[in-house]
Amino acid sequence: MGERDVVVFFDIFKVDKEGPVWRSSADTLDKAKERVQEFGKIEPGEYLIFNSRTGESLRISTENADSMSRAPYYVRCGSPGCKWQIALIDVSESESERLRQSFREHCIEAHALAPDDMEREAWFDLTKHTITLMGK
Ligand SMILES: [Zn+2]
């Protein structure tokens, strides 16, 4: 089995003024965090770990390593004028599930999503940290 057969779930980006720049990838969140710390020694700053399977991302500042794993990040509703947001601790499966559940409930309440509509997709924007209910 070659390198290319490995399924990569976590992409690592350095956040520059122009936006996230891809740096590396890892097959587990722990490895991705380790790599961010290595990059941070050379180039301190903001990094994003993007879970390519669930679409969630974790923002890490290597200039403030202590608060890194505990600091929540916020995902906001992408619909114009909507103030809904949720704080997530990390990109784990359970947090991803919590995001999707909460957002679904929010959309049923605020955006006229039919409670039995399981087809409609939510678009997670990596750079803006928004989640938006897609049209039919
Ligand atoms: Zn909303």
Angle subtended at Cα 58 by Cα 54 and Cα 60, rounded to the nearest 5 degrees: 160
Which band of pLDDT confidence, cut at 50, 70 and 90, is reported for residue 67?
very low
pLDDT of 1 over the 60 cut = no
- pLDDT tens string 39-56: 888 888 889 999 888 888
How far is the centre of ligand 1, averaged over its atoms, from the C-alpha of 132 (Å)?
Answer: 8
CA distance 114 to 118: 9
CA distance 95 to 122: 16
How far is the centre of ligand 1, averaged over its atoms, from the C-alpha of 107 (Å)?
Answer: 6
Tell me the mean pLDDT in the region 28-39.
91
How far is the centre of ligand 1, averaged over its atoms, from the C-alpha of 67 (Å)?
Answer: 29
How far is the centre of ligand 1, averaged over its atoms, from the C-alpha of 23 (Å)?
Answer: 32
How far is the centre of ligand 1, averaged over its atoms, from the C-alpha of 128 (Å)?
Answer: 15
Considering only residues 19 and 103, tell me which one the structure prediction assigns the higher pLDDT.
103
DSSP assignment of 44-88, as one string?
Answer: -SEEEEEETTT--EEEEETTSGGGTTT--EEEEE-STT---EEEE
CA distance 125 to 62: 22
How far is the centre of ligand 1, averaged over its atoms, from the C-alpha of 106 (Å)?
Answer: 6
Helices vs strands, H then E, count in the chain = 2, 8
pTM of the model: 0.52
Tell me, what's the pLDDT at 136? 65
How far is the centre of ligand 1, averaged over its atoms, from the C-alpha of 75 (Å)?
Answer: 11
Supply 1's token pair.
Answer: 């089995």
How far is the centre of ligand 1, averaged over its atoms, from the C-alpha of 82 (Å)?
Answer: 5
Tell me, what's the pLDDT at 36? 93
- pLDDT tens string 72-129: 678 999 999 999 999 887 777 788 888 999 999 999 999 999 999 988 889 888 778 8
How far is the centre of ligand 1, averaged over its atoms, from the C-alpha of 56 (Å)?
Answer: 18
